[in-house]
């Protein structure tokens, strides 16, 4: 059993990709796809929401290590620093790097979920406190305060479902 199989990834390589030397794996936990290219590149592909249109878009993220390189640019007549990807030509090394990337991304996603849950809990507590304070200050009546608290509880239940 390979590390990718142990992580629960399924290979979804198409016939054309296989001919080109590309291998594709799907992670059902994060919903991401991971690709290993014969050229030495490795990438993560995931769907996110466009901030402009609100529609889903597919994003490719390069997983290769990088290094800074200085090169003389003849057009600007000076040295230019740029970031260069370090290609991994061994398929075994690319798959090893993919396995590490999968584990790391899962941990990152889990930490982000925990952080968002904590923020939501703080917001819900603030809504409760605000409702009680508004009632005690006489700004809203008892029923309105209860309604706000009930609505917040409903939202909490939806978030935890």
Residue after which a domain boundary falls, among 99, 114, 129: 114
Q: What is the pLDDT of residue 50?
A: 85
Q: How far apart are CA 30 and CA 16, in angstroms?
A: 25
Does residue 87 share a domain with residue 109?
A: yes
Averaged over 23-38, what is the pLDDT? 93
Confidence of residue 96 (pLDDT cuts 50, 70, 90): very high
Does residue 140 share a domain with residue 70?
A: no
Averaged over 77-87, what is the pLDDT? 91
Does residue 123 share a domain with residue 109?
A: no
pLDDT in tens, 102-115: 999 999 888 888 88
Domain count, the chain: 2
Which range marks the domain in which residue 139 is found?
115-160
**To the nearest whole percent, how much of the chain has pLDDT over 90?**
42
pLDDT in tens, 33-49: 999 999 999 999 998 88
Instruction: Please tell me whether the overall predicted TM-score, pTM, comes out greater than 0.85 for this model.
Output: no
CA angle 123, 124, 130 (to 5 degrees): 90
Distances (CA, A) of 31 to 47, 62, 110, 134: 8, 17, 13, 43
Does residue 130 share a domain with residue 102?
A: no
Report phi then psi at 59, rounded to 5: -120, 135
Q: Which of 1-5, 50-54, 72-76, 101-105 has the lowest mean pLDDT?
A: 1-5
């Amino acid at each position: 059993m390979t590390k990718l199989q142990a992580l629960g990834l399924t290979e979804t390589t198409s016939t054309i990709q296989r001919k080109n030397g590309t291998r594709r794996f799907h992670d059902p936990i994060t919903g991401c796809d991971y690709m290993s290219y014969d050229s030495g590149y490795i990438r993560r592909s995931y769907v996110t929401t466009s901030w402009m249109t609100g529609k889903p878009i597919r994003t490719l993220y390069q997983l290769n290590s990088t290094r800074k390189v200085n090169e003389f640019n003849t057009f600007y007549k000076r040295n230019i620093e740029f970031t260069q990807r370090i290609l991994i030509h061994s398929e075994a090394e690319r798959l090893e790097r993919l396995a590490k990337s999968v584990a790391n991304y899962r941990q990152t996603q889990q930490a982000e979920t925990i952080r968002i849950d904590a923020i939501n809990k703080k917001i819900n507590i603030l809504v409760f406190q605000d409702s009680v304070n508004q009632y005690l200050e006489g700004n809203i009546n008892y029923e309105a305060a209860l309604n706000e608290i009930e609505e917040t509880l409903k939202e909490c239940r939806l978030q935890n479902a």
